[in-house]
């Protein structure tokens, strides 16, 4: 039997090839050369890339033998994951390879800003000796505000604690007890902004976090604060930050990421008290080597037909064919659950009912956790780190199976308890031979609606005119309703609206709906990747 062919399309560390082992035929090509890539990709079973090779729908269509695309790094902007999924091609990356490097880079930026290192370096090289001009600020006994306690945020908090800093953090998805174990005090965002001498951002980029530090928030900061963003471009509003720096409300900033990348022009570049780097968070030899070794191992697993924990789309391994279609549905349920809860639950049951329980459905528990944390943490969530994320945040998970499913052939329900005792639940099923996904229950209310990229769920007291009010406000905001279901426990009792819309609902419009219908609860849900 011929050996599977693995194409290394960009320069990777020798350790990557060593980790692949002798079981494959290794070929090399310049993946950035489009013609060369399209010429060789039909003959390969796996391709290893970094950021320069574009594996899009055209490349995937040409890759008739391809089984796995491996990105030696975290980002997947150069891989069409949707097209790969449709083609049955697994996509893997190395989600944990750069966490230490990213944490250290954030701290490096903070020190550079606090001690004016780049500006002083440039001044001295220009023949100036201006010690008093570049007097800096100590980190010792200052208060550092960490936005986001994911893996990178935790590493930053631990390291800055060793500097003798007082660490506070904002992360609505972390239990206070878990933060306390790390010596970190959780506070609301306004309190952090008012108390922190220095702020470092380590949140994922979601509709909720985009522009998290904008004009209004920067008006609340402690005068003279230093701000570092080495997470994602857009979490800190660049124009609002520029204005705050010019006005002196913010004393300095360290920025590694930008809304548009690559970027070589920005008003921020004009300011001497801003330290900028071209997205270097993961750019260390160690991170690159870890990434190469990690994806090489994933390629070995994928081509051997085994479960690949770091796969971001099609899961490999010994998973029953009847179970596989439920994996993406369950991941969506996890994301919807988190959006409805607004926090990480203390306890979560993953209930699986019906014929599917004849098989091993443990993978659905992992899929649920992957979905729960996808929009919560900065790092990539996989089947291997999702249980660790749950443990770190004090989330107890239980898989419950029952062959009896009275209403549906198979049913997956996520049912959780929040810190205040509130219960949240969401259920879904697959319909027909093409496995169409359906949401069939939210918080005990029966519905039947297809999940979509943009959705909303409203809870209110049942009475006439509500649907009209909701439609009017969304219409005024130019948001089109694609589908809507109304459910209630009784006439004049509690009611729930679940709807899909063609575009994300602006927060201002959602707030207006809440006011006008006196909603008990209102949540927007965005599953657009």
Options 178, 232, 297, 393, the catalytic residue? 232
Q: Which of 22, 16, 2 is nearest to 48 (CA)?
A: 16
* CA proximity to 290, closest of 97, 152, 105, 103: 97
- Closest by CA to 141, choosing from 171, 167, 165, is 165
**Angstrom distance (rounded) from CA 300 to CA 337:** 34
213 exposure class (CB count in 10 Å sphere: 0-12, 13-18, 19+):
buried
Angle in degrees, 0-180, between the axes of helices 507-517 and 466-476, rounded to the nearest 10: 160
- Sign of the four-CA dihedral 122, 123, 129, 134: negative
125 catalytic, yes or no? Answer: no
Task: Identify any residues that bridge with 27 across adjacent strands, giving them in sequence order.
Answer: 7
Catalytic residue among 11, 18, 261, 407: 261
Convert 135-160 to b/e letters by CB count within 10 Å (16 or more is b).
Answer: eebebeebbbbbbbbbbbbbbbbeeb
Is 65 tagged catalytic? no
Pick the catalytic residue from 279, 324, 422, 488.
279
Q: Give the whole-angstrom CA distance, residue 262 versus residue 11.
A: 21
Place of tokens 């003959």: 43
User: For residues 254 and 239, what is the distance between their CA atoms, to the nearest angstrom?
Assistant: 15
Whole-angstrom distance, CA of residue 468 vs CA of residue 472: 6
Question: Which strands make up the sheet holding 250-255, listed edge to edge?
Answer: 185-186, 166-170, 143-147, 198-201, 225-229, 250-255, 274-276
The verdict on whether 261 is a catalytic residue reads yes
Nearest to residue 106, comparing CAs of 154, 143, 74? 154
Of 230, 246, 254, 3, residue with least CA distance to 113: 254
d(CA 294, CA 96) in angstroms, rounded, equals 9
What is the C-alpha end-to-end distance of the chain, expressed in Å?
A: 40
Contact 255, 281 (CB under 8 A): no
* Both tokens assigned to 68: 């796995």
Could you tell me whether strands 25-28 and 198-201 are parallel, antiparallel, or unpaired per DSSP bridges? unpaired
Task: For the chain, give percent helix, strand, coil, nearest 5.
Answer: 35, 25, 40
Catalytic positions are 232, 261, 279
């Amino acid at each position: 039997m011929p050996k599977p062919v693995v194409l290394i399309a960009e320069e990777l560390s020798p350790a990557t090839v060593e980790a692949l082992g002798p079981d494959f035929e290794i070929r090399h090509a310049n993946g950035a050369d489009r013609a060369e890539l399209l010429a060789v990709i039909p003959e390969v079973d796996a391709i290893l890339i970094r950021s320069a090779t574009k594996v899009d729908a055209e490349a995937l269509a040409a890759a008739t033998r391809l089984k796995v695309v491996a990105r030696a790094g975290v980002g997947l902007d150069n891989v069409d994951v949707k097209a790969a999924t449709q083609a049955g091609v697994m996509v893997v990356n190395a989600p944990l390879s750069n966490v230490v490097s990213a944490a250290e880079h954030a701290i490096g930026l903070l020190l550079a800003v606090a001690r004016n290192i780049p500006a002083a370096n440039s001044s001295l090289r220009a023949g100036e000796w201006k010690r008093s001009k570049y007097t800096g600020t100590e980190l010792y006994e200052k208060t550092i505000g960490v936005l986001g306690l994911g893996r990178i945020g935790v590493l930053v908090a631990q390291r800055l604690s060793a500097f003798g800093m007082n660490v506070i953090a904002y992360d609505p998805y972390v239990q206070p007890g878990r933060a306390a174990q790390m010596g970190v005090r959780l506070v609301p965002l306004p309190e952090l902004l008012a108390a922190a001498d220095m702020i470092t951002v380590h949140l994922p980029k979601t509709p909720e976090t985009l522009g998290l530090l904008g004009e209004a928030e920067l008006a609340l900061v402690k005068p003279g604060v230093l701000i570092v963003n080495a997470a994602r471009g857009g979490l800190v509003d660049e124009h609002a930050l520029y204005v705050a720096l010019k006005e002196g409300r913010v004393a300095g900033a360290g920025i590694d990421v930008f809304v548009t990348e690559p970027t070589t022009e920005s008003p921020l570049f004009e300011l001497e008290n801003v330290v900028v780097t071209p997205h270097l968070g993961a750019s260390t030899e160690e991170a690159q080597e870890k990434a190469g070794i990690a994806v090489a191992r994933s390629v070995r697993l994928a081509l051997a037909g085994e479960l690949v924990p770091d796969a971001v789309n099609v899961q490999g391994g010994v998973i029953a064919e009847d179970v596989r279609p439920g994996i993406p549905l369950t991941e969506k349920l996890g994301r919807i659950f988190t959006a409805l809860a607004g926090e990480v639950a203390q306890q979560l049951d993953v209930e699986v009912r019906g014929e599917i329980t004849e098989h091993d459905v443990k993978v659905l528990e992992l899929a649920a956790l992957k979905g729960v944390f996808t929009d919560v943490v900065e790092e990539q969530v996989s089947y291997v780190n999702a249980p660790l994320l749950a443990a770190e945040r004090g989330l107890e998970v239980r898989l419950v199976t029952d062959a009896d499913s009275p209403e549906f052939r198979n049913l997956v329900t996520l049912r959780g308890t929040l810190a205040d005792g509130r219960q949240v639940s969401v259920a879904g099923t697959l319909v027909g031979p093409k496995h169409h996904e359906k949401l069939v229950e939210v918080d005990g209310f029966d519905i039947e609606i297809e999940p979509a990229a943009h959705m909303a769920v409203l809870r209110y007291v049942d009475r006439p005119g509500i649907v009209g009010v909701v439609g009017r406000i969304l219409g005024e905001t130019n948001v089109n309703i694609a589908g809507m279901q109304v459910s209630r426990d009784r006439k004049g009792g509690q009611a729930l609206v679940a709807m899909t819309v063609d575009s994300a609902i602006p927060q201002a419009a959602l707030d207006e709906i809440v006011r006008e219908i006196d909603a008990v609860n209102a949540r927007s849900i965005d599953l657009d990747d």
